[in-house]
């Protein structure tokens, strides 16, 4: 592989979830390119499966798309390990605790310009608890079987990358 060399990384904006930078990169032919870079603090997500084998999904408004989406529970890291964050997000968003939590898959969401990594876990043996939503968070919990969710992916009704990746990994590993 040809050599790339980062010459500079300049912070343009420091945000709550991520920081925005502009990088100066020396590319293999010697030219200098300016590339945007989003430095993300990381996230965790969870595929939650109840005793009946149904999956808990969350429906919420997403400003970037100006519409509601159906997703697996997920959220940013708050300085804790990703398994702890996944368990926290599960309870906050769905009102259930995980009796058992196991690692499923890791993904990088947008490798062209962002280093966001999401570790995704499988939660089973769910224990009813209570939702703990932020003041600006309005989440409805819905329950589906994996075949319904796979069909929604194929129909373009579920397009969120972490959710598609997680559901397909779960289906491939546990639903044969």
Q: What is the pLDDT of residues 78-127, one digit of tens each?
A: 999 999 999 999 999 999 999 999 999 999 999 999 999 999 999 999 99
43-174: which CATH number, 3.90.79.10, 3.30.200.20, 3.40.50.300, 3.30.300.10? 3.90.79.10
Name the nearest CA neighbour of 118 among 64, 77, 175. 77
Query: What values do phi and psi take at 98, rounded to 5?
Result: -90, 120
Q: What is the pLDDT of residues 56-68, one digit of tens each?
A: 999 999 999 999 9
Name the nearest CA neighbour of 98 among 117, 125, 64, 136. 125
Q: Which of 78, 135, 148, 155 is catalytic?
A: 135
- What pTM was estimated for this model as a whole? 0.94
Give the residue extent of every domain in the chain: 5-40, 43-174
Q: Let me know if 92 is a catalytic residue.
A: no
């Amino acid at each position: 592989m040809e050599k790339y060399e980062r010459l500079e990384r300049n912070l343009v904006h420091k945000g709550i979830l991520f920081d925005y930078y502009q990088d100066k990169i020396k590319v293999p032919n010697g030219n200098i390119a300016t590339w945007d870079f989003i430095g993300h603090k990381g996230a965790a997500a969870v595929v939650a499966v109840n005793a009946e084998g149904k999956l808990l999904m969350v429906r919420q408004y997403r400003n970037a798309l100006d519409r509601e989406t159906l997703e697996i529970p997920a959220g940013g890291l708050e300085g804790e390990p990703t398994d702890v964050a996944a368990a926290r997000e599960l309870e906050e968003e769905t009102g259930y605790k995980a009796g058992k939590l196991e690692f499923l898959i890791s993904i990088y969401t947008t490798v062209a310009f962002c280093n966001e990594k999401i570790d995704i876990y499988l939660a089973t043996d769910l224990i009813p608890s209570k939702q703990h939503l932020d003041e600006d968070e309005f989440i409805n919990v819905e329950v589906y079987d994996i075949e319904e969710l796979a069909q929604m992916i194929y129909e373009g009704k579920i397009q969120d990358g972490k959710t598609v990746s997680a559901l397909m990994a779960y289906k491939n590993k546990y639903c044969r």
